[in-house]
Amino acid sequence: MHGIRLCQQHGIKVGLRFTLTQDNAAELPAMLDLMDEMDIDKFYLSHLNYAGRGNRNRKDDVVHQLTRNAMDLLFDRCWADIQVGKAREFVTGNNDADGVYLLFWVQKYFPDKVAAMRERLAQWAVMPRAMDFQYRQPRQRASDTFWWDYTLGNVRERPFSQIWPDTSDPLMAGFKQQPRPVKGRCGECQYLDICGGNTRVRAWSLTGDPWQEDPACYLSDEEIGATGEHERLQVTPYRRTIRIKQA
């Protein structure tokens, strides 16, 4: 808190970031209250991604109803600010079902704006956001922020300008395909143009198939127009495997 105050005193922009889990979901209202108390004008809600260290915490991922409750709270706070003329920024990440859920909110309160909102959300969805590459030392591997275990190439062997457009890699080819070759509920979803199949790394972490449905989608079959024939993926606790090597 002292660090936040120091940043504000020196004109440095400050935002609050909150990764939603089953353990801390009840603390979200207090975090938003803190945003008011400290006059902070940006709040970022991150959904849990089952990748890297986050994969060990997937047992704590919020159930779908808790996720919806959190989104409803964010919408309410943001709309309350707008009504009193307060300009603040509310951002969510790592679950593109949020865009569809926002469309449902617009449908409820501003039905005349639905077409324009859907067009805008679909335009945003086709932006090149498939993978956020990083060079990882000391091996100079090119990989995505969340796909730590999946290497697309080595910049010592090929320049990044050759790695990026190379669709001989099946994962890269799938990400560049429109629409993505998703399966299950995601493949049936009427809003695939908005969410793009959501976050693929969660499906990969749970099933080994990056094109399976995203288990963190909190929208119902009825809402997305799915038949209900596919059994929904269930989040199971992470279990660490310990291997003992013979000396």
Question: How do residues 130-151 score in pLDDT, each as one tens digit?
Answer: 444 444 444 444 444 567 677 8
62-92: b or e for each residue (b if 16 or more CB lie within 10 Å)?
bebebbbebbeebbebbeebeeeeeebebeb
Same domain, 13 and 69: yes
Q: Does pLDDT of 121 surpass 60?
A: yes
Q: Is residue 7 part of a domain?
A: yes
Do both 157 and 86 map to the same domain? no
Say yes or no: 8 and 81 in one domain. Answer: yes
Same domain, 61 and 141: no
Ranges 46-55, 75-84, 127-136, 181-190: which has the least confidence: 127-136
What mean pLDDT is predicted for residues 86-100? 94
Domain shared by 81 and 140, yes or no? no
Q: CA–CA separation, 47 vs 28, rounded Å?
A: 13
Question: How would residue 201 be classed by pLDDT, with cut points 50, 70 and 90?
Answer: confident
Domain contains 126: no
Residue 127, pLDDT score: 58
**Region 77-105: what's the mean pLDDT?**
95
Per the listing, tokens 């591997």 go with: 141
Report if residue 13 sits inside a domain: yes
Domain co-membership, 84 together with 140: no
Residue 87 has pLDDT above 70, yes or no: yes
Residue 18 has a pLDDT of 95
Indicate whether 9 and 84 sit together in one domain. yes
Q: What whole-number distance in Å separates Cα of residue 116 and Cα of residue 122? A: 10
| Shared domain check, 87 and 40 | yes
- Decide if 207 is inside a domain: yes
Same domain for 138 and 68: no
Q: Same domain for 58 and 11? A: yes
Strand stretches in 94-222, DSSP E: 133-136, 141-144, 153-154
The number of domains in the chain is 2
Over residues 62-90, mean pLDDT: 93
Does residue 244 register a pLDDT over 50? no
Weakest mean pLDDT among 175-179, 210-214, 224-228, 231-235? 231-235
Does residue 157 register a pLDDT over 80? yes
Phi, then psi, of 153 in degrees rounded to 5: 165, 175
- Mean per-residue pLDDT of the chain: 83
Q: What is the mean pLDDT of residues 213-237?
A: 80
Q: The domain containing residue 15 runs over which residues?
A: 2-94
Q: Is the pLDDT of residue 95 over 70?
A: yes
Residue 17 lies in a domain: yes
Clarify whether residues 142 and 79 are in a common domain. no
In a domain, 182, yes or no: yes
The pLDDT, as a whole number, for residue 51 is 54
Q: Is residue 101 part of a domain?
A: no
The verdict on residue 237 lying in a domain is no
pLDDT of residue 231: 65
Residue 67 sits in the same domain as residue 15: yes
